[in-house]
Amino acid sequence: MNEAKRYFQPEWETMPADRIKEHQSKLLVKQVQHVWDHVPYYKKLMQDKGVEPGDITGIDDIWKLPFLSKDDLREAYPYGLLAEPLENCVRIQSTSGTTGRRVVAFYTQEDIDLWEECCARAIVAAGGSNQDVCQVSYGYGLFTGGPGLNGGSHKVGCLTIPTSSGNTERQIMFIKDLSATILCCTPSYAAYLGETMKEMGMGPEDIPLKAGIFGAEAWTEEMRRDIEKTMGIKAYDIYGLTEISGPGVSFECEAQTGMHINEDHFYAEIINPNTGEVLPEGTKGELVFTSLDKCAFPLLRYRTRDICVLTRERCSCGRTFIKMAKPMGRSDDMLIIKGVNVFPSQIETVLLNKGYPANYLITVDRVNNSDTLDIDVEMTPEMFSDNLSVISRREKELIDALKAMLGIYARVHLVAPKTITRSEGKAVRVIDKRKLV
């Protein structure tokens, strides 16, 4: 029997920070030349900023390079940022693209290997080995969740169950009958699976799962605790984005105190989203990534819109990679209601702390030139009551707690269990009607 490994690639994952920096510097110099030679769109951005490949001698020069944004990706759609001839590419993946054109990312076989290795690191960090059965319940297809974790699971040597998302009762049947020990899906789908398990009369003791690798959307510590309790597992966060590869750009270890960024492949910066100024480690701001060694779709200084903090404290797991905190939301998810900045994650924290499930819907509107905030919150079956005074007391309690957290008034509507639509992938929790007109 193989002993479980602590790291998938220990030589990289525990490399001293100064050697990682040296490695990043070499890769960046090469990557800038590759992009200059093959991506006229970015070459022009560099020329407009008055910078040439010779100006980049190492990672400390990265600030000289121009940023890329989602608008650039849309403008350059579909081939404008491709850095390899199409005959060298073997795959595309794409984002769900809620507005306008989708983002299409290209991969060579080397790019796929690099990406799957990053996912394998995440699975090993969650305690995975070739003794494990890994059920991948992220969607398969253009979305990167299923293909990325599937490839990572193969590289670790897990027996992989590619269920994709949906068919919730069958998911639970497979977990039980095929003894799945690791589950990969969005946190909202994990919560839904847990809820369905309860309804089927099953508790944590009835399933062999030991770990979950949940990401692709923001989730709170409160939600983590709920899922861990319902399923009897340790729940690990995983982060990534299609533009940079997919899941596995960063991953959590057993310390569960932030996600290690795979720094040998992806260089991270935090900037002030309004000015573009690079901020020191430990400061909250917008996360920017540079792909150091991807071939087909190598984005330099890509602005993710995700708001978070980086820290390089020594981690008890022994990994030396810098850590990013759980993103607290996207700068474009941040709601400005009556002039106040509101993140959906703050609302979720209040609801879960008060014992409500993570099934809620936030609706923002503008009535008579004034913003309104309405929150539909599902009650648990235990809370459900047809006594109106009990319900209005509970609503009042939530309104007060939300006012204390957000500083503004929110109308709360408690609704019956199971009335809010469940998500099998990324949950839709905000409707901003002001944007629809």
Residues that bind ligand DLL (CB under 6 A): 95-96, 138, 144-145, 215-218, 237-242, 246-247, 304, 306, 326-327, 330
Shortest Å distance, C-beta 113 to ligand DLL? 18
Nearer to ligand DLL, 215 or 298 (CB): 215
Shortest Å distance, C-beta 190 to ligand DLL? 12
Shortest Å distance, C-beta 216 to ligand DLL? 3
Shortest Å distance, C-beta 306 to ligand DLL? 5
Shortest Å distance, C-beta 87 to ligand DLL? 26
Shortest Å distance, C-beta 232 to ligand DLL? 22
Nearer to ligand DLL, 112 or 218 (CB): 218
Nearer to ligand DLL, 36 or 425 (CB): 425
Nearer to ligand DLL, 142 or 405 (CB): 142
| Nearest residue relative to ligand DLL (C-beta) | 215
Nearer to ligand DLL, 228 or 237 (CB): 237
Shortest Å distance, C-beta 184 to ligand DLL? 8
Radius of gyration for the alpha carbons in the chain, expressed in angstroms and rounded: 22
Largest CA distance in the chain: 73
Nearer to ligand DLL, 330 or 354 (CB): 330
Nearer to ligand DLL, 330 or 413 (CB): 330
